[in-house]
Amino acid sequence: MTENEIKDKVVEILKPYVRNTDNLGSVSNSTHIITDLEVNSSRLVDVILAFEDEFDIEVSDEEADKVQTIGDAVAMIKAKI
């Protein structure tokens, strides 16, 4: 799976949790999930669980804490699949 494919899936997973949908059209690896997309920090747990299900991976609490941008999520997932 390529980085772009992972990124596309990450964005799809995030869509239901994003409050600033205007920024969804221009996401990049540096897009901050909480600040730019306005995903509620408590919903990040749901997002991480969705990553685990979609990509068949396990994410530790420490790894989850490091996911702040789209690029962070893509890098973590790519390293695990």
What is the total count of domains within the chain? 1
Q: What is the pLDDT at residue 72?
A: 97
Print pLDDT tens along the chain (81 aa).
999 999 999 999 999 999 998 998 899 999 999 999 999 989 999 999 999 999 999 999 999 999 999 999 999 999 999
Give me the CATH number covering residue 59.
1.10.1200.10
Which residue range is the domain that position 68 belongs to? 3-80
First to last CA, the chain: 8
Distance CA 37, CA 63 (A): 20
pTM of the predicted model over 0.75: yes
